């Protein structure tokens, strides 16, 4: 996508921007994708690459939630594999998890390394404010720029949250928006038939 640059040298000029997301629903009608709202804020020419494919598809923003930092996107191409959503209420500190996202590709491309997903494994560090609307999952692994919006999943492959970074100065700590919050957001924005 194209978005205002974070680089102070660019003085707010439009630059390439990247983020991660995951498929929550797909069929003959198209595909719905969830990501962090801050990933698509002020974005133009929004395009999605599914998997490591080279082709990019035009994306439409269907719904956004500022408070929960969620955005629901849609592409016209369908019949893609959606993730399995788990239960974030069952998540406990110490549980093994994985994160699959796309770090910002500029440095990788400059080095001729291409763009591909990165996989990290770690554990749930804590469940903060458990049982409240402000519940969040703290991870003991980093969320690197470009990986906000990536799925965080348990060893059985069920997605329990969406990765996000909350502290610009501390990249060793990651967080995840619980899947239960994501499911409420999806329920509030059903697909038009």
**Judgement on whether residues 114 and 61 belong to the same structural domain of the protein:** no
% of the chain surpassing 70 pLDDT: 79
**Judgement on whether residues 24 and 101 belong to the same structural domain of the protein:** no
Q: Where are the alpha helices (DSSP H) in the chain?
A: 37-40, 106-110, 179-188
Which residue among 82, 103, 129 closes a domain?
82
Query: Which domain, by its residues, includes 6?
Result: 2-82
**Judgement on whether residues 112 and 175 belong to the same structural domain of the protein:** yes
**Judgement on whether residues 27 and 90 belong to the same structural domain of the protein:** no
Residue 124 · residue 139 · CB < 8 Å: yes
CATH number, domain with residue 148? 2.40.10.10
Can you read off the two tokens belonging to residue 25? 């629903």
Total domains in the chain come to 2
- Give me the DSSP letters along 104-121: --HHHHHTT-----EEEE
Residue 8: how many other CB atoms lie within 10 Å: 7
> Nearest to residue 48, comparing CAs of 64, 38, 61?
61
Q: What is the pTM of this model?
A: 0.86
The answer on pLDDT for 91 being more than 70 is: yes
Which residue among 56, 82, 108 closes a domain?
82
pLDDT at 183: 96
**Judgement on whether residues 55 and 100 belong to the same structural domain of the protein:** no
The predicted model gives 101-130 an average pLDDT of 75
Lowest mean pLDDT among 7-21, 49-63, 165-179: 7-21
């Amino acid at each position: 996508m194209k978005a205002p640059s974070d680089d102070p040298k660019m003085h707010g000029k439009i630059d390439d921007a990247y983020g991660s997301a995951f498929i929550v629903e797909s069929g003959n009608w198209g595909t719905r994708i969830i990501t962090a709202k801050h990933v698509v804020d002020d974005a133009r020419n929004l395009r999605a690459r599914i998997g490591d494919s080279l082709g990019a598809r035009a994306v439409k923003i269907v719904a956004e939630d500022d408070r929960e930092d969620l955005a629901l996107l849609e592409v016209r191409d369908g019949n893609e594999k959606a993730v399995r959503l788990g239960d974030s209420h069952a998540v406990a500190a110490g549980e093994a998890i994985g994160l699959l996202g796309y770090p910002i590709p500029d440095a990788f491309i400059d080095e001729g390394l291409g763009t591909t997903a990165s996989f990290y494994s770690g554990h749930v560090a804590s469940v903060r404010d458990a049982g409240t609307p402000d519940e969040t999952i703290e991870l003991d692994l980093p969320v690197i720029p470009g990986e906000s919006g990536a799925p965080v999943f348990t060893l059985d492959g069920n997605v329990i949250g969406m990765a996000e970074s909350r502290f610009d100065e501390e990249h060793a700590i990651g967080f995840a928006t619980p899947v239960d919050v994501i499911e409420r957001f999806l329920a509030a924005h059903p697909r038009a038939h």
